[in-house]
Structure 1
């Protein structure tokens, strides 16, 4: 027998290599959640410095948040208690990252990005992936969202917390999971502690559940959580009621036009069949959140003015849900896909002028940077400085160098020493006496109401009228800066004006 016969033949056929494992494709949910975040951050960083300017409320944030924690909470006993939690948060961020406009405004950008992601996920759950993507992309381009995404105030954070609390609510309804109810309640409580009027979103959620006819156990669970949120908010509400003069500047609804327009448009969009059937319908969630908080504040304004557009900023969540779902519905029913995206692009282009305007100093009700610069330019070393009213002292607080060479004639104790926002002023008689010691006074008259029954303000205006004359006036955004000089006769003696 040959050797070849005894050795088995070896096959020369090679086995195919094992298939390479491809990385899993990004899920549609991830895309829907991430794309709005990227767009919001891009829009938020665009022009975030606003030509290196501040407006009055941001100057207050910068001032109070730079005080130490004991001073922040001591100040909150006198004024702005409703913002004490926000000032504490900003104090920590300033400690970590230093002062400056980016530290002031970047938290709002990131918060609004989180809100956009939550809006997208809500619409994804209630109306499908395309509606989720559209709603998430619509939200950050809304003019009001763009505006407050670049503000160093608490409103973007409140909006984000309300958005994520709404996500937790929608997730909790079908599963009846206690943990989700705890997340919902704690998130809503934090939103309310940042701004009390967030409690109106809690009411809107209750209306949603009633309209959706959810089972009684769900209503009971929501009722228990809502009671806990209200109980947690109650001490802040009671204490801040004693600081009601903080909203005395509101003499009528402030910028209600935007709310009224989007409310009407949103209700009209809700007439279409939007979203899938489920325990909570998209329209049943979005319409109360969009309409109810603003209507409550407008109704309350018939007795006492309380409506300010930023107080119900989170209503844009409802509008974005409705608009995104309606665009998806219109695409399926009426438009070919290519025309739908053309319409979206056209709408985005139409918003460019307002987007550009929002990134200018003139887009805010005042510009404390320009006011301070006007004071510095108008004043001479040793001139007097006077604020009409004293509460408008914050308008010159952005840069201490603007007023360092001037003497504040009415100030008895500065804001930090007095644990206030604008300081404590001298009695009326002493203010008038100090004014008469100066030949030149730089007067800052802020925009808004000037109380006629305040003796200090009366002393300022009457002394100016009788003993001084206006020499030069500069108009700036939010204020008028006027140099007053003493009335003198030919011999140099003081001359009063009858």
Structure 2
């Protein structure tokens, strides 16, 4: 790289280009036609509670997301409860992650690697999904990007204890948003080993990492008592490993293109551990307890983006001797082709149908079918999220199964009465409005309460009206 090129890069840094690109991808179709799905509904209804109410909830459930909920509570207070407020933090966070990928790639393999990797990150299908998600996973990716960028700078000899403290802070921030992000530490450990870091660097990294883990340990220990929350995650199966295997294969090709060698810092030594270690670590944990959800290690896709950037830079280097002018257009042309190829999927990700359901979709049908003083039942009880996000649609309806409300009980969806009391309350009603899932989005009734609700409606009521939309179903029943 010539001194003139280096000077131009310093005068005109590349990282704003992928950051703005990712920001644009996130703002495109951000509202998803004003739809909100069940996971986002949890964020929405918790963020609307008081700070004291959120703390009460976290003592019972969802403590792993406590920092994120408090952040969203503040944003809802400042900017109002809208889909933009709900999702914009994720968009901004992923733009930061793209900027970090660009900076890392540019430092280690030149401008094409940085620019290509940063632009590719926002195009990855999983990133496009969580880019517009009112959940903490994009924020975790931003923290991972910042910590990895800081580590690269430190391995290059830039910065002292102040930057190591910033590194520990970035790792801790990611862990407080979701402590599975601590899988980035063994990934960084592999980078240190691969790049031949000196003893001083090892010692400082160990201190910074220990500080981050110590800061997150109280949260880890406390959330261990709420492990029942993830009991619905299915056991690991072979077909669940196909996705990680494909990602690792693509990443491996990118690492080879970077001509990896032991004892030097490279995109391969940073990107491949960042991709592989969290994926394989989560697989290993899932052999002990089912925990395998790709969103828990979404941040590992920063490694895939880095390795893709390495592959693009290698392609430019290979083309430059024979086609010097055309090689400058290789990365833009390949990115344009990728955008075109992924356009159908990108459009699908921004539609309400991209999620398993839409909490808000049934409100019009509820207003149309409800009768003043009528009873409403939720099956399962988690479908009460529709009422918690859109309480106005349920004005005049009586929630006959509810014993203690969400705020009073410090739970997400409230505490329902015993099965016998629910049965008696339902049998005393001439009509019941049921809010439930459509068959394709429903899970088998596991709890006795849910089985009782289904049995009473089946045996003692008949359907008067039925409406289904975007994974949700509203049915009006009349006593036989």
**TM-score under structure 2 length normalisation:** 0.90
Residue matched to 1:19: none
Shift of 1:63: 1.1
Shift of 1:216: 2.2
User: Retained in 1: the 8 A contact 2:112–2:312?
Assistant: no
Residue matched to 2:3: none
Q: 1:272-287 maps to which residues of 2 (within 5 A)?
A: 272-274=257-259, 279-287=264-272
What SS is found at the alignment partner of 1:441?
A: strand
Equivalent in 453, 473, 477 of residue 480 of structure 1: 473
Shift of 1:380: 2.7
Residue matched to 1:80: 62
What SS is found at the alignment partner of 2:357?
A: coil
User: Retained in 2: the 8 A contact 1:256–1:309?
Assistant: no
Residue matched to 1:449: 443
Q: Name the CA shift for 1:100/1:273 in 2 (closer, same or farther; >3 Å).
A: closer
Residue matched to 1:460: 453
1:343 aligns with 2:334: yes
CA distance in 1, matches of 2:246, 2:362: 33
The answer for unaligned runs of 5 or more in structure 2 is 1-6
CA distance in 1, matches of 2:114, 2:47: 37
Q: 1:117-156 maps to which residues of 2 (within 5 A)?
A: 117-156=99-138
Deviates more, 1:97-106 or 1:121-130: 97-106
Shift of 1:482: 2.7
Shift of 1:29: 6.7
CA distance in 2, matches of 1:396, 1:257: 38
Shift of 1:82: 0.7
User: Retained in 2: the 8 A contact 1:76–1:84?
Assistant: yes
Residue matched to 1:108: 90
Shift of 1:47: 0.7
Q: Name the CA shift for 1:240/1:352 in 2 (closer, same or farther; >3 Å).
A: same
Q: RMSD between aligned alpha carbons?
A: 2.2
Q: Name the CA shift for 1:249/1:374 in 2 (closer, same or farther; >3 Å).
A: farther
CA distance in 1, matches of 2:162, 2:291: 35
Residue matched to 1:388: 379
CA distance in 2, matches of 1:284, 1:363: 35
CA distance in 2, matches of 1:177, 1:149: 33
CA distance in 2, matches of 1:186, 1:192: 10
User: Any idea what the Cα deviations from partners look like across 1:67-95, whole Å, max 9, x if unmatched?
Assistant: 11111111110111011101111112122
1:296 aligns with 2:281: yes
User: Any idea what the Cα deviations from partners look like across 1:257-309, whole Å, max 9, x if unmatched?
Assistant: 55443222111221223589974221111111112212222233334321112
User: Retained in 1: the 8 A contact 2:194–2:263?
Assistant: no
Q: Name the CA shift for 1:33/1:340 in 2 (closer, same or farther; >3 Å).
A: closer
1:352 aligns with 2:343: yes
User: Retained in 1: the 8 A contact 2:423–2:456?
Assistant: yes
The answer for unaligned runs of 5 or more in structure 1 is 1-24, 488-498
What SS is found at the alignment partner of 2:69?
A: helix
Instruction: Give aligned pairs, total.
Output: 462
CA distance in 2, matches of 1:149, 1:464: 40
User: Retained in 2: the 8 A contact 1:82–1:194?
Assistant: yes
Q: Name the CA shift for 1:51/1:322 in 2 (closer, same or farther; >3 Å).
A: same
Residue matched to 1:14: none
Deviates more, 1:53-62 or 1:254-263: 254-263
What SS is found at the alignment partner of 1:314?
A: helix
Q: 1:33-432 maps to which residues of 2 (within 5 A)?
A: 33-175=15-157, 177-252=160-235, 258-274=243-259, 279-334=264-319, 336-337=326-327, 338-432=329-423
- Of Structure 1 and Structure 2, the greater helix share is in 2
User: Any idea what the Cα deviations from partners look like across 1:326-373, whole Å, max 9, x if unmatched?
Assistant: 111112214741344322211111111111111101111211111333
Structure of greater relative contact order (alpha carbons < 8 Å, 6+ residues apart): 2
CA distance in 1, matches of 2:136, 2:154: 27
